[in-house]
Copies of this chain bind each other. A is one copy, B any other.
Amino acid sequence: VPGATVSPPPAAGTPRERARATFTADLLAAARRQVAEVGAAQLSLRGVARELGVASSAVYRYVDSRDALLTLLLIEAFDEVGTACETAFAQTSGAGASAGETWVAVARAFRAWALEHRHSYELAYGTPVPGYVAPADTTSHATRVWGVLGRLVIAAGLDGDLAPLSPPADVRGLVTPGVLAFAGGLGDGGPGEAGLDVEEGVVRSVVLFDALVGAVSTELFGHLHGVTTDADRLFGVTIAAVATGVGLTSRPPG
Q: Chain A residues in contact with chain B, CB under 8 A?
A: 38-39, 41-42, 100, 122, 125-128, 130, 142, 165-167, 169, 171, 173-176, 178-179, 202-204, 206-207, 209-215, 217-218, 221-224, 226-230, 233-234, 236-238, 240-246, 250
Contacts and interface: CB of A to CB of B under 8 A. Distances in A.
Contact of A214 (B167, B214, B224): B214
Contacts of A39: 127, 130
6 contacts: A167-B250, A173-B229, A174-B228, A176-B227, A210-B211, A214-B217
A173 to B, nearest CB: 6
A241 B171 CA distance: 12
A19 B127 CA distance: 37
Nearest to A180: B227
Given A223-B213, A240-B169, A241-B207, A229 B175 contact: yes
B130 A230 contact: no
Contacts of A176: 226-229
B206 A210 contact: no
Nearest to A234: B174
Contacts of A209: 214, 218, 223
A219 B166 CA distance: 22
Given A167-B250, A214-B217, A238-B206, A233 B122 contact: no
B240 A242 contact: no
Contact of A227 (B175, B207, B211, B244): B175
B174 A222 contact: no
Contacts of A128: 221-222
A221 B175 contact: no
A125 B224 CA distance: 12
Contact of A38 (B130, B174, B207): B130
A125 to B, nearest CB: 7
6 A-B pairs closest in CB distance? A214-B214, A245-B245, A126-B127, A210-B214, A127-B127, A241-B245
Contact of A171 (B217, B226, B227, B237): B237
